[in-house]
Each structure stands twice: as structure tokens, then as C-alpha cells.
Amino acid sequence: MSAAPGFSVPPDPEAAYYQTIEDFFVSRRGDPLFLSNADWLLIRGWRTAGTPLRVVLRGIADALDGHAHSWGRHRKVGSLAYCAAEVEVARDRWQRALALGEEEGNAPHAALTALADALDDAALDGDARADAAILALDLRDWARSPPPLREIEARLAQRESALLARLRGLLSAPRLVELEATADAELAPYATRMPAPVLAQIRSDSIARRVLAQFGIPRLSLFGS
């Protein structure tokens, strides 16, 4: 999937979620217009809700395929909002498949167990090791009896926030500054293209991923990148 003309995609996986959606929508729509602030905020909502990238792309494809066979097919789709309903349909299908364990390797049990394993293997000691061990036990409990899917991401986000606060305290001030500077450098191409709340969210997620990675821990989420 090619980038928008004149714009290189940064390697940051958080930014890649947004950029890939823009690339796909623009290429399928068939003109070089970029996304509006409202479109970026819509993507932010999908990301915050834990909608996997492949699910968003499926919904966009379904919406634009439907448009191509509609009476209004000669009119250009003017906004990503046109695809929002189909993205929600795709998300509902994904959640039903996830609940039934039909998505290989992505059932709640498998995903939560994998996160628990990562926490057990993390390069931690002292109080941080104890915190990670408790969290791993909780995740294994959830894996045995998963909460409703709509609650899992919220619970994981809350626990990740607490873990991040502990881990940031273990890193030196210069190391934190270095991680933040690296994230800022990779996100710089977006500074004039996205609304401030979206850019701030990507920056926060990017730094969180980098802090966790210092200890061998992935983002605490069912849907990964």
C-alpha cells in the first residue's frame, strides 16, 4: 500500500495505524485529497475503541464497494465518515468471531494468556516484578473466564496505565527524554496534518509502547498493533 504522494510513512506503529487508513481510503476513493480533521478524529475513535486495523480496512472496503454499485456511484465519497457504519458492522462481526474463538490466535483466552506470559518473562525485579506478577495472575483469571469484550480493552488500558507509571519511575530521566525525542522525531511529519488531540494521542501511545518495550512488555491490548 503506497503512501500519499509526497509523504513518507514513519516507522512508528502507532502512527502507522492512522497513515495506513488514510492511504487505503485515499487510494480506494481515487483522488489525492487527504483526510479532514473530522476524519482523523474518527480514526482516533476507532483506535481508542480497540478496533484492529484490518477490521477498519474491511469496513472501508465494504462501504466503498457498496458505493461503487449504488445509484450515486458517479459522486465522489467526500469523507471517511461515509464508511463509519460499515466499519462498525465489521467491528461487530470481529467481536462475535472473537467471542466464539473463531479468530485463530485472537480469542480472548489466547490473547490474555500471551500477555500474561510476556509479563512473567519481563526484565523486572523488586516492586515492579511483584506488580507484573499480580497483573499476570489477573490476566490468567480473565483468560479462564473472560469479561465482556467491550470491557476487556478498558480494563487492560487501566492496568497498563498503572504499570507504565511504575516503569517510568525505573527509567532514568535522560532515557525518558531520549524515548520522547525519538517519538517526536518520527511523528514530526504529522505535526501540520493532524488535529492536536489526535497527534497528542499518537504521541502518548508511541511513548507508552517505547517505555514498555524497555522491559520486554507489549502494549496491553487484545488487538496488538
Encode pLDDT of 94-109 as tens digits. 888 776 664 544 568 8
**Among candidate residues 49, 73, 99, the one where a domain is terminated:** 99
119 plus 42 within the same structural domain: no
- 150 secondary structure, DSSP code: H
pLDDT at 66: 84
119 plus 94 within the same structural domain: no
Confidence of residue 224 (pLDDT cuts 50, 70, 90): low
Instruction: Determine the angle formed by the axes of helices 37-48 and 13-29, rounding to 10 degrees.
Output: 130
Amino acid letter for position 224: G
- How many beta carbons lie within 10 A of that of residue 194, not counting itself? 24
51 plus 138 within the same structural domain: no
pLDDT at 5: 36
149 plus 206 within the same structural domain: yes
Confidence of residue 8 (pLDDT cuts 50, 70, 90): very low
88 plus 185 within the same structural domain: no
Among 94, 168, 179, CA closest to 128: 168
Q: How many domains is the chain partitioned into structurally? A: 2
Owning domain of residue 154: 108-213
118 plus 202 within the same structural domain: yes
136 plus 44 within the same structural domain: no
- The Cα–Cα gap between 54 and 66 comes to 18
Question: What is the pTM (predicted TM-score) of this model?
Answer: 0.79
- Phi-psi bin for 50: left (phi > 0), alpha (psi -120 to 50), beta? left
Task: Say whether pLDDT at 10 is over 50.
Answer: no
56 plus 119 within the same structural domain: no
**Among candidate residues 37, 64, 99, the one where a domain is terminated:** 99
